[in-house]
Structure 1
C-alpha cells in the first residue's frame, strides 16, 4: 500500500495528487472480485490532524484505518478503496475548506476519522447536509449525541461524557473525597468536567480550564500543591498531556493520585515514559484486552508501524471493519442511503473491544475500564485494564435524540 504525504508527488495519478485540499492519498490496489470489476473504488476521506504537537494522535488514527484496510485486502465489502487523508491542522476553518473539497471535487463516499471535537463540530453540517455519511472514530461531543443527532452521523468511539464519567466513578469507588479538575477550554474539555462530576459525589476543590495550546502548567501545579487534593482529574490530549505529566512528576506531585482520560495513553507514552508510570486512565479499550480480534490487531499493528496502538488507532480500525460489513450487506451498492444506513447501524462486525452495538443515537453502547500505565517486558509503555467500571453503558444524551426512521 503506497502512501502520499500532503504535497509530495509519489505517483503519476492525477487524482492522487490533492495539493489544493492539502490531503494525502492512501492508494490501494484496484483489483476486486469479478462481481465488482466495473465498480469505481469507494472513496473515503480520513480527517486526521497531521500538523503540530497533536499530530501523533492523528497518526494513530490514520494508521489504525490503514491496518484495517490491510486486514481487508484493501477493500470494503469486496470493492477497492481509495483513501484521502485530510490534515485538518487542528483549525476548524481549514478543516471545513478541505472537507468541502473532498465532498465537492473528489466526491468521497464517506468521511471518517476526526480527533478533536471542535473539528467535528465544524465539519458536521457540510458533510451530513451533502447526504454523505460521517463516522467519527474519536471525537464524541455531547452536541451530536442528543438533540443534534443526525441519521447521517455515526460514532465508533464514545460520547465524551462517558469516558470521563468512568474516572468520576473510579474516584468515588477509591474513596477520594477532595478532587482538583483541569481540562482544556473547548467542548470536549467541558464535556470532560461534566462527565467526571456526573458520578463523583465528593468535593471539587477547583475547576480549571486552560487554552488548548498551553504547554506550561507551573501555575496550575502550584495551585494543586497548595490545595493538596486527594486526587486530580485531568483530560489533556496529545502535547498537552506530554508536558503536564512530565511537569507533574518533576514538581514532586506524583504522591497525589493522577486520574485522567486521553492524557496517558499509547499516543503520548513514548514521550512521557517513566513519568507516567502508575498513572490512571479511563478507556473503552486497552492493548491487553484478551480476544482474538484484538490480539491480531495489536500484533500486526506493532509489526507494521513499530509503536503501540492507542484507542485512536483501535477505534479507527473498528471503523474500517464496520464499513466493510455495511458495504457487504448492501452488495456494494451505496446508492440506497436508507439501506446503507441500516447496514451501518447493524454493526455486524467483530470489534477489538469485544461486544459492540449502536444505541438509538448511533453512538456505541459498550463497556468502560479503569486502566493503568505499565512498562512491558520489552521496555515499551502501555495502558492495561485494571477493572471494568461501566458495563453496556448508554451515553447520557441518547434519550434526547429524536432520530428519524428514514432519511
Structure 2
C-alpha cells in the first residue's frame, strides 16, 4: 500500500489532484521529499496530512480542495522552481510540506514576499523564530531546538558529565546542538558534524570509542540515523555509551529498520502514539490501517497541519482568498492537536509540551515507543522576544 501511494505521489508531481470543484477552491502546494534518503520522512508527513484531509471530509474548512504533491528531490533548486510555479502559475493559497531546512530556507523569502502563507510541517529555523519572523509563516511542527532542549534537560537530570554531541552539518543539525546545550551545561567531550546524507560512520565511531563518553546525543535524520545506530551497535558500543535521540531518530521507521539495537533508547518528541485522547487513538488506528505501518511523529505533524488549516478556513467562512482573515484564524489555532495543548506564540511558532519516550519490547516481542512523561511542559522557544510581529 505504501509503495503504491508513493508512486501515485510521484506521478502527481506535475499535476493537480482535485478533491472537489467549486468557484472558490482552497489551493495547497505540498512540496516535500519523496525520493532518496529523506523519502520516508516526506512520505510520513504527506500521508499524515492526507489522513487529516480524509478525516475532515475530503475538504478543509468545508470548502473544495486542490492539493499538488511534488517531490523536492532534496534539492533547493528543484524546490525553488516548484515554489515559483506554485505561486505564479498555480496561484496557491498555502505552501507546506518541506522536510529539510536546507531546502526550505533558500525558498522561503520568495514565498513569504508573495503574500502566500507557508505552514511548516517540520523545520522551525531559529532566524525565522526571531528577527526574521513573518506574518505569512506559521510553524505547525516545532522550533528546531525544541526537542534537543528536551533531551538536554533529560541528560542533565541523569547527572551525566561526559556527553558527546553529533549532528548533520545543516541548519537543523547545527541548531539541534545549540538547543541541547541550552539545557545541558557540561562541556561536550566531542562535538562532531557530519555531511548531510552521510551513511558511513566508521571514523566517528573510532573517535567516540576513544573519548569514552557516558552518553551521546545525535541528530542524524532519516537513513543517516538508522545507519549510525546499526554501526554503533555493530561496534559494541551500545552497552558502554547511552544513546540519546530526538524522536525522529527513534521512531517507528527507525524501529522497523534497526530492530533490537534501538531498544532502550530514550528520545524526546512533542507527540507519542500512547498519548491519551480519542482523536490520537483514532489517528494511530486509522493511519496504521490505511498505510500498513504505524505512524511517526512526522506523520502526526502532517495530520496536525491539515487540522490547523481546516479550522482556520472554517473560521474565515470559507473566504480562502482573504489572506488577512486566514492569517488571523491561523494565529488563534483553535483546533484539537494530537499532541495535546497547542497555541501559537507571538512569533507564530508553537507553545507545546515536549515528552520523554523510551523504546521498549513488549511480552509479544513487539518493539515500540512508550511514553515516560513530560520533559518541558508548555515550552516556548527562546527566540520569540526578537520577533516584532
Would you say same fold, with TM above 0.5?
yes
Give the length in aligned residue pairs. 383
Q: Does 1:230 align with 2:230?
A: no
CA distance in 1, matches of 2:17, 2:226: 29
CA distance in 2, matches of 1:76, 1:378: 40
Partner residue, 2:94: 110
Partner residue, 1:213: 197
Q: Does 1:277 align with 2:263?
A: yes
Q: 1:60-93, CA deviations, whole angstroms, 9 ceiling, x for partnerless residues?
A: 0000001001101110111121111121111111
1:258 CA displacement: 0.2
Among 234, 259, 264, the alignment partner of 2:244 is 259
Partner residue, 2:300: 314
Q: Does 1:239 align with 2:238?
A: no
Gaps of 5+ in 1: 9-16, 31-37
Which structure carries more helix by proportion?
2
Q: Structure 2 matches for 1:4-403, cutoff 5 A?
A: 5=8, 8=11, 22-23=13-14, 25-30=16-21, 38-255=22-239, 256-261=241-246, 262-375=248-361, 380-403=366-389
1:380 CA displacement: 4.7
1:178 CA displacement: 0.7
TM-score (norm 2): 0.95
CA distance in 2, matches of 1:257, 1:333: 52
Higher RCO structure, 1 or 2 (CA under 8 Å, sep 6+): 2
User: What secondary structure is seen at the aligned counterpart in 2 of 1:387?
Assistant: strand
1:324 CA displacement: 0.6
Specify whether residues 105 and 386 from structure 1 end up closer, same or farther in structure 2 by C-alpha distance, changes over 3 A only: same
Specify whether residues 238 and 23 from structure 1 end up closer, same or farther in structure 2 by C-alpha distance, changes over 3 A only: farther
The root-mean-square deviation of aligned C-alpha atoms, in Å, is 1.6
1:23 CA displacement: 3.9
1:277 CA displacement: 0.9
Q: Indicate if the aligned counterparts of 1:45 and 1:85 stay in contact, CA closer than 8 A.
A: yes
Partner residue, 1:14: none
Q: Indicate if the aligned counterparts of 1:44 and 1:112 stay in contact, CA closer than 8 A.
A: yes
Q: Indicate if the aligned counterparts of 1:47 and 1:87 stay in contact, CA closer than 8 A.
A: yes
Q: 1:299-341, CA deviations, whole angstroms, 9 ceiling, x for partnerless residues?
A: 1000000111111110110110011111101100023222211
Q: Indicate if the aligned counterparts of 1:166 and 1:389 stay in contact, CA closer than 8 A.
A: yes
Gaps of 5+ in 2: none
Q: 1:360-391, CA deviations, whole angstroms, 9 ceiling, x for partnerless residues?
A: 00000000011111235665533222120101
